[in-house]
């Protein structure tokens, strides 16, 4: 018993505070503790700012300043007098039981959703703060069994609070928070996975948080499945959707436009910047199951008589994402396709030489009407990571990259990490 | 340059006639959803899985014992089922969370554990009954249960754990089609439609304990907890949003009504054949098959057997999935069956255990099939109020459901459903315990 006493001074579990007695400084019982309120401040450990208590059948708010000690099953007031007021949430405040315990959290470390079975508090810098969350079976068992038996079960592994991100429940004041710095470091595809696995409200919170970074938001949208894209776009104005689309790759933007309700497609497309609008319009003209619908119009092409240095300079100055620049395409004076070159080949070559003198790969190409199987076979047969698409006059109009093909080829059910009954 | 099309590609093109269908990004995903899920969505599957082996046994027993006189109860049960399924579908659509998940978040871990354990017990019972159903169906063809049930169990295990659940589900749904034989058989049996109509509208009570037992069993098999859990999880998995709310509501209600119309025809068919012929108790699957004789004559047993097999397999496949969803949601494990074993050991373990134990129980010689099936429905009837209570409370919560919460008459009738089923269950428990 003595051992538990000393340990419990350093660490407290939420389940031991909830339902505990509220006593005044003389030790007289006044009521019981219903919930614990903490303030999320940046990425630090959130301190307790107050308690929800029931006194004489009425629920009231007890600010932390009026509390002397917090012990297992007992919260003691600093004064004999009790001063209760109704609770109203202040910004950044969440209720540990109502909003966090038993709810889902993002484990930012592993980029997955976990459920809080127990919450661990510790005395840091003079006051109680949330330091960790138990997501394992032990925390659940401790709370499941009667307190006398459950309390004897050793605690499981706690996740440090710094590596989790709670959802804020229905509290609007807390919702518009800056993105957890480590959440922002996740790959957009991982964030999209989290959004897809979360409930509607939780997904919306992630998207809202991501919204502070327009490029990241666009990247996440590129990775989301169509259902979720539509869900989050439905509430936005045409201008907002256009702004989002302008940050997306043209082929993904065109896909999203195609998923929009008929009546919104034109208004949204009209609000795009001219160059993006032209690309999206052109892509929308193709059947999405054919090369034209799969391709991206973003690539770098140079005249075949350009020097290696000039070509590399084009790549350097290009605003395209890195993955679109791995291959550079050549054209003749009439803008007809004339082969392709790997970036690595350019780097190894003499900068003064003409690109045409290099070992230009005579890659096969696709018509915009080539169906999906043709695209996939061609890329598999020739080991291509990108296949050029030419129009009827042999001018290059786009490139189908291997990720576009993989997305379609992925077997049913593999696309999502979670769930079984999904429509895929 | 067109001449550059490689030979390999031309070969590929020449094979075009035999090419497999490959999905495109946009069109086919949508058409697949429309064709398959639009017609056979989770609402319909969930409610129809209730017409499984236990359901058929119970409805047949009701029809044989009391003729049409319990049809009025079927009307009430349909209203309840439709409301409950509707609430589950709407909660899944609005919140994007499963039922067990909501219970956990709103009422804490103990209540969710209680609900989970009750569902586990109920589902185990139903799972056993469905394996018994498989054995009984193949038994009509002379295959001993010691052979048929383990093979079926292995098949179901492989389908769930190793993959192509979706395609199997389609096969199972098709296999329930022989149950449409019941409406036809009911009409061919020329029941007294005046009596049927009267029984549908005018409540008739019987003063024996079997009546109460069968009444609760009927409610228990028609409104089974796993249906709501499965439906809500499936709606969530489907990614339905508020825009889909009208469609999801329609499908849930439509599925419930459809399933219960079939159930009512089972009662009418057995009432018009067995009850009229003075057979008031059903001892075996062969007895129950006699209700199909007006339609199928000597093939009645075959027809009944195929339908019973399909219905049992469908439920036996959906049950472990629904169960593992509940456990996943309430314990907070990562969901995912059809995944590799090492990724989801708890689920594969749970599913395997359920199937293995059910198989063992089902192959023990001398198990009284029909009474076991009815008994399971009684357990379900007792556990039902727990689940319904949560659904009622959650569906009317403004915090959770906002403007889509249950209000007014819908809320009152749901409350009445909970109250009535709870009362019935308590009476049943009292009767059973006191040995009346």
Whether B21 contacts chain A with CB within 8 A = no
Residue B158 vs residue B170, higher pLDDT: B158
pLDDT at residue A389 is higher than 60: yes
- Of A140-149, B343-352, B365-374, which gets the smallest average pLDDT? B365-374
Q: Do B238 and A234 touch (CB under 8 A)?
A: no
Give per-residue pLDDT as tens, B213-248: 788 888 878 888 888 888 888 888 777 888 888 888
Give per-residue pLDDT as tens, B245-299: 888 898 889 889 988 998 999 899 888 888 888 878 777 777 788 777 777 777 7
Closest by Cβ to B334, choosing from A112, A140, A372: A112
Distance CA A92, CA A40 (A): 5
Q: In what order do the strands lie in the sheet with A118-124?
A: A11-13, A118-124, A127-134, A158-160
- What pLDDT, on a 0 to 100 scale, did the predictor assign at position B391? 93
Whether B247 contacts chain A with CB within 8 A = no
Tell how strand A21-23 and strand A74-77 pair up. parallel
Give per-residue pLDDT as tens, A170-212: 555 455 455 667 777 888 888 888 888 888 888 888 888 888 8
Closest by Cβ to A421, choosing from B5, B22, B234: B234
What are the structural domains, with CATH classification, of chain A? 1-156 (2.30.30.240), 299-408 (3.10.580.10)
> Would you list the DSSP string of B327-395?
HHHHHTPPP-SSS-GGG-HHHHHHHHHHHHHHHHHHHSTT--HHHHHHHHHHHHHHHHHHHHHHHHHHH
pLDDT band of residue B34 (cuts 50, 70, 90) is very low
Whether B192 contacts chain A with CB within 8 A = no
* Element housing A42 (H / E): none
Name chain B contacts of A378, Cβ cutoff 8 Å: 6, 9
Residues 138-157 of A with CB under 8 A from B: 140, 143-144
Q: Do B336 and A417 touch (CB under 8 A)?
A: yes
In angstroms and rounded to an integer, the radius of gyration of the C-alpha atoms of chain A is 29
Distance CA B355, CA B361 (A): 10
The CB-side HSE value for B377 (13 A sphere, CA atoms) comes to 30
Pick the closest to residue B323 from B50, B117, B170 (CA basis): B117
Closest by Cβ to A408, choosing from B24, B105, B321: B24
Give per-residue pLDDT as tens, A155-178: 777 888 888 888 866 555 455 455
CATH superfamily of B42-434: Amino acid/polyamine transporter I (1.20.1740.10)
With both helix axes pointing from N to C terminus, report the angle between B71-95 and B99-139 in degrees, rounded to the nearest 10: 130
Tell me the mean pLDDT in the region A285-302. 84
Whether A373 contacts chain B with CB within 8 A = yes
Closest by Cβ to A143, choosing from B29, B94, B109: B109
- Residue linked to tokens 């998923």: A259
Rounded mean pLDDT of chain A? 82
Whether A26 contacts chain B with CB within 8 A = no
Secondary structure class of A295 (helix, strand, coil) = coil
Whether B334 contacts chain A with CB within 8 A = yes
Name chain A contacts of B22, Cβ cutoff 8 Å: 372-373, 376, 408-409
Whether B340 contacts chain A with CB within 8 A = no
Q: Which residue of A has its CA nearest to B166?
A: A421
pLDDT at residue A244 is higher than 60: yes
> Is the Cβ–Cβ distance between A56 and A31 less than 8 Å?
yes
- What pLDDT, on a 0 to 100 scale, did the predictor assign at position B343? 52
Q: Which residue of A has its CA nearest to B339?
A: A420
A164 phi-psi bin (left φ>0, alpha ψ -120 to 50, beta other): beta
Whether A361 contacts chain B with CB within 8 A = no
- Of A22-26, A415-419, B199-203, B274-278, which gets the smallest average pLDDT? A415-419
Q: What is the domain partition of chain B in residue ranges?
A: 42-434
Whether A372 contacts chain B with CB within 8 A = yes
- What pLDDT, on a 0 to 100 scale, did the predictor assign at position B316? 84
> Is the Cβ–Cβ distance between B406 and B414 less than 8 Å?
yes
pLDDT band of residue A357 (cuts 50, 70, 90) is confident
3-state secondary structure B105-136: HHHHHHHHHHHHHHHHHHHHHHHHHHHHHHHH
Whether B97 contacts chain A with CB within 8 A = yes
**How close A116 comes to chain B (CA, Å)?**
8
pLDDT band of residue B433 (cuts 50, 70, 90) is low
Pick the closest to residue A120 from A16, A4, A2 (CA basis): A16
Q: Which residue of A has its CA nearest to B399?
A: A170
Give per-residue pLDDT as tens, A28-45: 888 899 999 998 877 688
Name chain B contacts of A390, Cβ cutoff 8 Å: 1
pLDDT at residue B165 is higher than 60: no
Distance CA A13, CA B355 (A): 39
Whether B24 contacts chain A with CB within 8 A = yes
Max intra-chain CA distance, chain A: 94
Whether A289 contacts chain B with CB within 8 A = yes
| Beta bridge pairs of residue B288 | none
pLDDT band of residue B87 (cuts 50, 70, 90) is very high
Q: Between chain A and chain B, how many beta carbons pairs sit less than 8 Å apart?
A: 141
Angle at A71 between CA A70 and CA A76, to 5 degrees: 50
Give exposure, B318-330, as e/b (b: 16+ Cβ within 10 Å). Answer: bbbbbbbbbbbbb
Q: Which residue of A has its CA nearest to B329?
A: A115
- Work out the end-to-end distance of chain B between its first and last CA atoms, rounded to an integer number of angstroms: 91
Q: Predicted ipTM?
A: 0.71
- What pLDDT, on a 0 to 100 scale, did the predictor assign at position A189? 86
Give exposure, B359-389, as e/b (b: 16+ Cβ within 10 Å). Answer: bebbbeeeeebbebbbbbbbbbbbbbbbbbb
Give per-residue pLDDT as tens, B95-108: 988 888 899 888 88
pLDDT at residue B337 is higher than 50: no
Q: Do B25 and A419 touch (CB under 8 A)?
A: no
Tell me the mean pLDDT in the region A381-400. 88
Q: Do A422 and B336 touch (CB under 8 A)?
A: no
Name chain B contacts of A195, Cβ cutoff 8 Å: none
Whether A312 contacts chain B with CB within 8 A = no
Burial-class residue A217 by CB neighbours within 10 Å (0-12, 13-18, 19+): buried
Pick the closest to residue B265 from B189, B214, B211 (CA basis): B189
The CB-side HSE value for A195 (13 A sphere, CA atoms) comes to 29
Whether B34 contacts chain A with CB within 8 A = no
Whether B239 contacts chain A with CB within 8 A = yes
Q: Do A112 and B9 touch (CB under 8 A)?
A: no
């Amino acid at each position: 018993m003595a051992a538990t006493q000393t340990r419990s001074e350093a660490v407290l579990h939420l389940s031991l505070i909830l339902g505990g007695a509220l006593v005044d400084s003389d030790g007289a019982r006044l009521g019981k503790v219903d919930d614990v309120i903490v303030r999320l401040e940046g990425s630090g450990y959130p301190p307790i700012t107050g308690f929800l208590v029931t006194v004489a059948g009425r629920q009231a708010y007890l600010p932390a300043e009026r509390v002397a000690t917090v012990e297992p099953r007992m919260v003691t007031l600093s004064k004999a007098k009790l001063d209760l007021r109704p609770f109203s949430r202040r910004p950044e405040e969440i209720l540990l039981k109502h909003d966090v315990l038993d709810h889902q959290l993002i484990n930012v470390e592993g980029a997955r959703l976990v459920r809080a079975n127990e919450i661990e508090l510790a005395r840091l810098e003079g006051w109680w703060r949330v330091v960790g969350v138990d997501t394992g079976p032990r925390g659940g068992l401790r709370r499941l069994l009667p307190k006398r038996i459950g309390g004897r079960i050793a605690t499981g592994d706690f996740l440090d609070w710094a590596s989790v991100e709670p959802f804020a429940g229905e509290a609007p004041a807390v919702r518009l928070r800056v993105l957890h710095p480590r959440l922002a470091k996740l790959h957009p595809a991982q964030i999209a996975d989290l959004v897809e696995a979360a409930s509607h409200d939780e997904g919306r919170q992630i998207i809202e948080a991501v919204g502070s970074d327009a490029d990241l938001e666009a990247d996440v949208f590129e990775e989301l499945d169509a259902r979720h894209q539509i869900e989050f776009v439905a509430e936005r104005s045409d201008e907002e959707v256009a702004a989002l689309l302008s940050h997306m790759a043209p082929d993904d933007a065109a896909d999203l436009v195609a998923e929009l309700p008929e009546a919104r497609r034109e208004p949204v497309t009209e609000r795009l910047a001219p160059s993006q609008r032209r690309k999206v319009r052109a892509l929308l003209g193709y059947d999405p199951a054919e090369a034209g619908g799969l391709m991206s119009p973003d690539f770098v092409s140079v005249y075949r008589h350009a020097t290696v240095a000039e070509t590399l300079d084009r790549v350097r100055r290009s605003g395209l994402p890195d993955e679109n620049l791995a291959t550079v395409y050549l054209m003749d004076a009439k803008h007809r396709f004339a082969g392709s070159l790997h970036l690595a080949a350019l780097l190894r070559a003499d900068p003064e030489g003409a690109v045409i003198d290099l070992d230009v790969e005579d890659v096969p190409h696709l018509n915009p009407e080539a169906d999906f199987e043709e695209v996939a076979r061609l890329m598999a047969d020739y080991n291509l990571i990108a296949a050029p698409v030419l129009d009827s006059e042999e001018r290059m109009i786009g490139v189908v990259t291997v990720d576009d093909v993989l997305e379609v080829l992925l077997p049913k059910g593999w696309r999502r990490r979670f769930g079984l009954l999904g429509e895929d | 340059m067109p001449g550059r099309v490689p030979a390999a590609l031309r070969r590929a093109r020449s094979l075009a006639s035999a090419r497999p269908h490959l999905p495109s990004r946009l069109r086919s995903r949508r058409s697949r959803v429309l064709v398959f899920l639009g017609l056979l969505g989770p609402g319909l599957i969930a409610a129809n899985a209730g017409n499984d082996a236990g359901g058929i046994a119970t409805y047949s027993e009701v029809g044989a014992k009391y003729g049409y006189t319990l049809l009025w109860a079927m009307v009430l049960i349909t209203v309840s089922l439709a409301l409950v399924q509707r609430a589950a579908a709407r909660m899944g659509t609005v919140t994007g969370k499963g039922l067990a998940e909501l219970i956990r978040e709103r009422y804490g871990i103990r209540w969710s554990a209680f609900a989970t354990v009750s569902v586990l017990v109920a589902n185990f019972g139903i799972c056993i009954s469905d394996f018994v159903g498989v054995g009984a169906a193949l038994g009509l063809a002379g295959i001993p249960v010691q052979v048929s049930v383990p093979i079926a169990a292995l098949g179901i295990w492989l389908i769930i754990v190793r993959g192509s659940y979706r395609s199997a589900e389609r096969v199972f749904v098709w296999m329930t089609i022989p149950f449409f034989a019941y409406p036809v058989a009911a009409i061919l049996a020329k029941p007294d439609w005046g009596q049927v109509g009267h029984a549908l509208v005018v409540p008739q009570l019987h003063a024996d304990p079997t009546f109460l037992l069968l009444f609760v069993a009927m409610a228990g098999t028609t409104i089974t907890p796993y249906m709501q859990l499965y439906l809500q999880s499936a709606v969530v998995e489907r990614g339905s949003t508020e825009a889909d709310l009208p469609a999801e509501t329609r499908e849930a209600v439509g599925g419930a009504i459809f399933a219960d119309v079939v159930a009512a025809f089972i009662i009418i068919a057995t009432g018009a054949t067995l009850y009229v012929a003075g057979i008031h108790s059903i001892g075996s699957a062969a007895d129950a098959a006699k209700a199909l004789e007006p339609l199928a004559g000597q093939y009645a047993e075959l027809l009944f057997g195929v339908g019973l097999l399909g219905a049992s397999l469908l439920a036996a496949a959906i049950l472990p999935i629904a169960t593992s969803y509940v456990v996943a949601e309430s314990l907070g494990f990562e969901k995912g069956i059809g995944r590799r074993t090492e990724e989801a050991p708890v689920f594969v373990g749970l599913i395997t255990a359920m199937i293995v134990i059910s198989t063992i129980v089902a192959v023990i010689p001398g198990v009284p099939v029909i009474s076991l099936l009815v008994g399971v429905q009684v357990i379900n009837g007792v556990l039902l109020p727990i689940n319904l209570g949560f659904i009622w409370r959650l569906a009317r919560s403004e915090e959770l459901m906002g403007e889509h919460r249950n209000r007014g008459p819908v809320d009152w009738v749901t409350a009445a459903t909970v109250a009535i089923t709870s009362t019935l269950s308590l009476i049943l428990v009292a009767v059973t315990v006191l040995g009346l």
